[in-house]
Structure 1
Amino acid sequence: MADWDSKLIVSKPQARTATVRTTSQLNAAARSGNIIATERASSVANKSHHVNTDHRRIAELDRSDDVKPPPTVKLGVGKAISAARLRLGLTQKDLATKINEKNSVINDYENARAIPNQQILGKLERILGVKLRGSDIGAALPAPGAKKAAAK
């Protein structure tokens, strides 16, 4: 078989993909009609936020249609706050000023509408002198240093 019988196809070489680093190169590529694609380089830092997700909890939330309201303080806590506040002769505004919170925060706690915040409950316990967390809500707190004196 002679070389004359085989077909030789001559074509234009395929365009290579080039990385464009400046805006002028990007504009030149757009003017010439080249296809422009953008890709973000992935790194370990970009993927690390997916590692700690709890997929089972997320799937359970997706399947449930009901929305559960967040837990609020118990009514006994609100009654203990209002009783201690009245015993000290404070208004809601005075108490709010002493713990550096808004009046509405005290109102929400007394009406059992507030979402429990341990920092706010701790401030209220110190100012009012009553226990607002634990089993014996409304009981008087021991005086500061009373535990040290009892231990001796």
Structure 2
Amino acid sequence: MSAWGSNSNVDWDKETVIGRNVRRGNSGPRQNVAKSQSQVNQARRTGGVVSVDKKYFGGANKKGDAEGQRLTKVDRSDEIVKPKTIDLAVGKTISKIRLEKKLTQKDLATKINEKPTVINDYEAGRAIPVQSVLAKLERVLGVKLRGKDIGQPLFQKKEKK
């Protein structure tokens, strides 16, 4: 006796079915995964069953994906959390020192290797603070933009005794 039962119940000459798993009882056709828009449209035209799933952050399984983790935490919470933006005093300080040095937003952005819209967002207080961008701005402008003494010179000359 075989694992399929007795051989007397199977009529081998009657029917041959390919593409069906007899053990699991799957009698329907195999599922095909459409990987392009044209394949999805073809299935819709022929009346096939179509389910479209959008994959977010596909292939972004990098270590240190803090942004994705933060978004997951926000999704799980019930309240709406407004992202922390830069203080308006910092933006005014950036604008004031930039004008004193006779730099445009574009010139300042070029010096720190960022886009001019980044400088505009920082000056308007709309930007989400990024420590690396703030550090670059501090070096180019020569003033402190983080901590308690915002607007003070970055490197104060020490008095000799």
TM-score when normalising by structure 2:
0.55
Instruction: Give 1 or 2 for the bigger CA radius of gyration.
Output: 1
TM-score when normalising by structure 1:
0.58
Divergent runs of 4+, >3 A: 28-33, 60-63
Query: Hey, what does 1:68 align to over in structure 2?
Result: 81
Query: Hey, what does 2:132 align to over in structure 1?
Result: 119
Query: Hey, what does 1:53 align to over in structure 2?
Result: none
Q: CA deviation at 1:140?
A: 1.1
5 Å-filtered alignment, 1:55-134, equals 62=76, 64=78, 66-134=79-147
Q: What 5-or-longer segments of structure 2 have no aligned partner? A: 6-15, 27-71
The percent identity for this pair of structures is: 50
Cα RMSD (Å) = 3.4
- Give the partner amino acid of 1:119: S
- Give the partner amino acid of 2:84: P
C-alpha distance in 1, partners of 2:93/2:152? 9
Q: CA deviation at 1:63?
A: 5.2
**Larger relative contact order (Cα-Cα within 8 Å, sequence gap ≥ 6):** 1
C-alpha distance in 2, partners of 1:127/1:91? 13
1:62-84 deviation per Cα after TM superposition (whole angstroms, max 9, x unaligned): 351x3212100000000110010
Tell me whether 1:15 sits opposite 2:29 in the alignment: no
- Give the partner amino acid of 2:23: I
Q: Which one has the bigger helix percentage?
A: 1
